[in-house]
Amino acid sequence: MVDLVHKNHVLISVFSRFGISLGFGDKTIREICQEKKIDLQFFLEIVNSFLDHDYFPREQLKSFPIRLIVDYLTKTHHEYLTKTIPEIESVISGREGICYKDKEHNFLMNTFFQEYKDELITHIKREDEQVFPYALEVEQCYLQKKSAESLPDKFRDYTISRYLQEHDDVEEKLFDLKNIIIKYLPPPKNPRLCYRVIVLLFNLEKDMNDHSRIEEKVFVPKVAMMEKVIRRKNSRQ
Ligand SMILES: [Fe+2]
Ligand SMILES: [Fe+2]
């Protein structure tokens, strides 16, 4: 397990979504997964998709239950909202000192960040409250060999392709925010603090790219496949 962290320290945040914290000693991945009751194969697939982008998308990831994938995605959302965003906010809002000499520049950076944060909250809320519950219902229907008729009324007309179409790119706004700091704002009064903001934004962007890839390349195709089966049952009746 230690070797994995030495290979890529970003994995530490992935581990925390599985309930694994630092201090592994000499335990192997298998031992830790057994101890924490984590599906070893699922854990390895997620880790590998982080380490090697060419490794993606893996057919194997699609073979895992939606419940496992949704659980991992939900925990990632929770981490963004309760840890990552507040951490960036604390630096950007000036609680630890100000980045720029002029008030208006600090204000501009903060305003842009707040806009990004609002967009991210809306994005996550839709997935947590609408898309993931829908996917879990579809999986239930599929496993119990029922038709789409058995879906709760509120989900009857929903489709996962609609989600994919509406899956807006929150990373784009993050890219704009980074550009404002790198390109358009004047040289900062406190370069180290500003550098910290940039590093935090780059880390979040990388993590979110991986997160969205799992949503679009693993989660959506898996739900679409089950949808097809339960809706076919409908048309036969
Ligand atoms: Fe998400
Ligand atoms: Fe998303």
Residues 91 and 77 in one domain: yes
Domain count, the chain: 2
Find the domain containing 28 and state its range.
1-55
Residues 170 and 72 in one domain: yes
Residues 72 and 37 in one domain: no
202 CA distance to ligand 1 centroid (A)? 17
Residues 140 and 38 in one domain: no
Interatomic CA distance for residues 36 and 122, integer angstroms: 32
114 CA distance to ligand 1 centroid (A)? 19
Q: What is the chain's pLDDT, residue by residue, as a tens digit (237 residues)?
A: 888 888 888 888 889 889 888 888 888 989 999 999 999 988 988 888 888 777 666 677 777 899 999 999 999 999 999 999 999 999 998 777 888 888 899 999 999 999 999 999 999 999 999 999 999 999 999 999 988 888 888 888 889 998 988 887 788 888 999 999 999 988 988 889 999 999 999 999 989 988 998 898 889 989 999 999 998 876 655
What are φ and ψ of residue 97, in 5° steps?
120, 165
CB proximity list for 149: less than 8 A, separation 6 or greater: 234, 237
Which residues, by Cβ under 5 Å, contact ligand 1, an ion?
127
Nearest to 80 by CA among 151, 16, 133: 16
| pTM over 0.85, yes/no | yes
Residues 145 and 167 in one domain: yes
Ligand nearest to the CA of 80: 1
Residues 104 and 216 in one domain: yes
Last residue of a domain, one of 11, 39, 55: 55
CA separation (Å) from 90 to 5, 82, 109, 113? 27, 12, 13, 11
Identify whether the C-beta of residue 10 lies closer than 8 Å to the C-beta of residue 206: yes
CA separation (Å) from 189 to 51, 88, 200? 36, 18, 19
